Amino acid sequence: MLKILKLITFTLLSMSVLAESIESINKDKHIEISGFDCADKSTHMIEWLGLGTDYRSFVVKDVETELYNQQPGSQLLKLECTGEPELLTGALPQDGVEAKAILTRFSVTFPLKATVNLSGTIWVLSIDQNYYAENLNLLTDRKLTKKFTVKGSSKQ
């Protein structure tokens, strides 16, 4: 019996260590997040967006903001990054030499699965959260565009 109790305790502690959560923009709420570690190796590039290094926080906040604008009263419960983000760059040759280039554009798309409570009904949404930064080679006139695309949904 003691072995079973130890096993249950160990399992619960392991699960709590693996689970991450972020504070919701809705007061006194938290969002469970998972799968974002697959983008950790690209943090140095994601910084080009100008939103900082904590991409987990800004992605969650941006998804929440868009969801709540579209469905007031809803609550994001869980956000899972389902795969590595898609990274795209654009550059201009420097001094007419293609081997030397200046970064001008950067895009990152996070494939996400969101679990949302909407008036007591749970929905799971497949989302692409895209960030597109342009004019990165200029000190002024930089532009960041965010695009929230729901690719599918299912009622739980």
Which has the minimum average pLDDT: 33-42, 89-98, 120-129, 137-146?
Answer: 89-98
CA proximity to 124, closest of 70, 84, 77 = 77
Name the percent of the chain in helix, strand, coil, to the closest 5: 30, 45, 20
Q: At 38, phi and psi to the nearest 5? A: -70, -15
| pLDDT value at 142 more than 90 | yes
Instruction: Decide if 113 contacts 127 (C-beta within 8 A).
Output: yes
Reported pTM: 0.84
Q: Name the token pair of 83.
A: 């795969």
Question: Stretch 85-90: mean pLDDT, rounded?
Answer: 96
Q: What is the pLDDT of residue 17?
A: 44
